[in-house]
Amino acid sequence: CKKVFGMDLRKGLLRKDLSSNIPIVLKRTVEFLDTEENLCTEGLFRVSGVATTILRFKHEFDSGFDAELEKVGSPHAAASLLKLYVRELPEPLIPFDLYEEFTNVKIENQEEANIIKILEDLINQIPEENQRVLYFLCNFL
DSSP of 102-133, one letter per residue? HHT---TTS-HHHHHHHHHHHHTTS-HHHHHH
For residue 34, give the H/E element and its range.
none
Q: What is the pTM of this model?
A: 0.88
Please give the Cα distance from 23 to 93 (Å, whole number): 12
Please give the Cα distance from 63 to 121 (Å, whole number): 38
Over residues 130-136, mean pLDDT:
95
pLDDT band for position 1 (cuts 50, 70, 90): low
pLDDT band for position 2 (cuts 50, 70, 90): confident
Residue 15: the pLDDT is 55
